Amino acid sequence: MTMTDPTTAAHASVAAPRVAFPPGFAWGAATAAYQIEGAAAEDGRTPSIWDAFAKTPGKVLNGDTGDVAVDHYHRFREDVRLMADLGLTSYRFSLSWPRIQPTGRGPAVERGLDFYRALVDTLLEHGISPVATLYHWDLPQDLEEAGGWPVRETAYRFAEYAALAGAALGDRIPVWTTLNEPWCSAFLGYGSGVHAPGRTNPADALKAAHHLNLGHGLAVGALREVLPASAKIAVSLNLHLVRPLTDAPEDREAARRIEAVGNRVWTGPMFKGGYDEDLKADTAHIVDWDELVRPGDEAEIGRPIDLLGLNYYNPTVVSAPNGAVVETAEAARNDGHGDSEFSCWPGSEDVVFHLANDDVTAMGWPIDASGLSDSLVGMHNDFGLPLLVTENGAAFEDVVGPDGEVDDPERVRYVELHLQAVADAIAAGADVRGYYLWSFLDNFEWAYGYSKRFGIVHVDYDTQKRTPKSSARWYAEVIRRGGLA
């Protein structure tokens, strides 16, 4: 029997790409609930820690909040049509915990689930494969008031929510990720305090890290019980690609410390059987690990998963503490995505951060795509799992032209360099299954509010008008071609 491959037929007229990607490679874009949905008080949703944080004066630039955001809750059909027009084959979004289980306890709210059922059905009608993240930072505020992530109970609450979401939506969502960037939740949320809930206590930050890990493991177990056997489970980590400033032993020691508390704090228990001794030694004066980690926890966290997601933006260059070095404002921002007098590196507060180069985005983040290929190859070698780039992209000062168009060649350049890096990693043996550009739409960029635009689709925040930028049209061509020209 001859089978016609509809993909090949439709693409017959397109020239072969210079840099091709494997068949079935997912061409995606990503968003997160609080950053785009709005409808903050509709259909039973209650405040999350980000609602509370954004409403605390001085926490978010210009007092911006996600109350309305880009109104995706009401405009998702238009947004999905736009994704289909661009040819996206997959879409990564997050489920809002306080929309599904408002207080973090008790039964699911059907109206909340209905929104995601409708969103997912619309995606599937357009041939776009959904990837759902359970936790992109919007802890129900009630759970924060009961202690938040530094409290062990929150991990069990998370697993219960995962089971509710999985049972309701598992028939139509093939790929699930548990946590998005738990490093930010723990260390920016409870360490430097630049993210919600804005606490600044190093012990709480480390406790939050363990309970996020535990929540991940418990959620994997809970999901396996309710999802079809074909479903794949992942986690999205922002593993730092740490480079010592020089080869001096002191700088290499600084890199080791940042790798421990930035990366291995997650990957140790998730993939290597437990927390590394050096991490525990670096932080022993802050927490009692023997009390924090109960027997069986590391096995729970280490439940096998199917895919590993990497969120990559820039490399991290560090050197040893040195009284003579004055940290620049830019370098300080680079260490933790924001200004704070409190550190997001418990136990390694003195490590000095440097910009990898001066070629920076509007966030001040250096552009260096070699970090992406190095990360992917390293993850492939270390963990042996199929990989997804679950986020990569850049903010620039986009300008709407007199013709209403947004020309963003810098973003095209950034994405092209990073797609090339993904191709390089695949050529070096890494099993990378997809790429999710951050972000599909301009949106609420956390502590920066609406001041930073990451979208390939521009949003006019007064009218909510969507305008694909030239990067969106360029990405559509890459997808049609199946690679880079």
Footprint on this chain of ligand FCB (rule: CB under 6 A): 32, 35, 180-181, 184, 238, 311, 391, 438, 445-446, 454
- Told to judge if 181 belongs to the known catalytic residues of this protein, a careful annotator would answer yes
Sheet holding 242-244, edge to edge: 242-244, 316-319, 352-354
- Told to judge if 391 belongs to the known catalytic residues of this protein, a careful annotator would answer yes
In DSSP notation, 337-370 reads TS--SS-SSTT-TT-EEE-S-S-B-TTS-B--TH
Q: Do 212 and 254 touch, CB atoms closer than 8 A? A: no
State the minimum distance, in angstroms, from the CB of residue 363 to ligand FCB. 7
In DSSP notation, 272-327 reads SSS--HHHHHHTTTT--HHHHS-TTHHHHHT---SEEEEE-S--EEEE---TTPPP
| CB nearer ligand FCB, residue 319 or residue 443 | 443
Count of H-run helices and E-run strands, the chain: 19, 15
Cis amide leading into 370 (omega within 30): no
| CB nearer ligand FCB, residue 154 or residue 180 | 180
| CB nearer ligand FCB, residue 227 or residue 472 | 472
Nearest to 392 by CA among 431, 441, 436, 422: 436
State the minimum distance, in angstroms, from the CB of residue 385 to ligand FCB. 20
| CB nearer ligand FCB, residue 180 or residue 319 | 180
d(CA 263, CA 317): 14
State the minimum distance, in angstroms, from the CB of residue 180 to ligand FCB. 5
State the minimum distance, in angstroms, from the CB of residue 312 to ligand FCB. 10
The residues pairing with 179 across neighbouring beta strands, listed in sequence order, are: 135
DSSP assigned state of 264: I
Residue 133 tokens, joined: 């993240």
From the list 259, 391, 410, 445, the catalytic residue is 391
From the list 37, 144, 181, 410, the catalytic residue is 181
| CB nearer ligand FCB, residue 275 or residue 440 | 440
State the minimum distance, in angstroms, from the CB of residue 311 to ligand FCB. 6
| CB nearer ligand FCB, residue 35 or residue 96 | 35
Place of tokens 């228990």: 269
State the minimum distance, in angstroms, from the CB of residue 391 to ligand FCB. 6
Nearest to 200 by CA among 357, 410, 343, 5: 343
441 phi and psi angles, rounded to 5 deg: -120, 150
Give catalytic residue positions: 181, 391
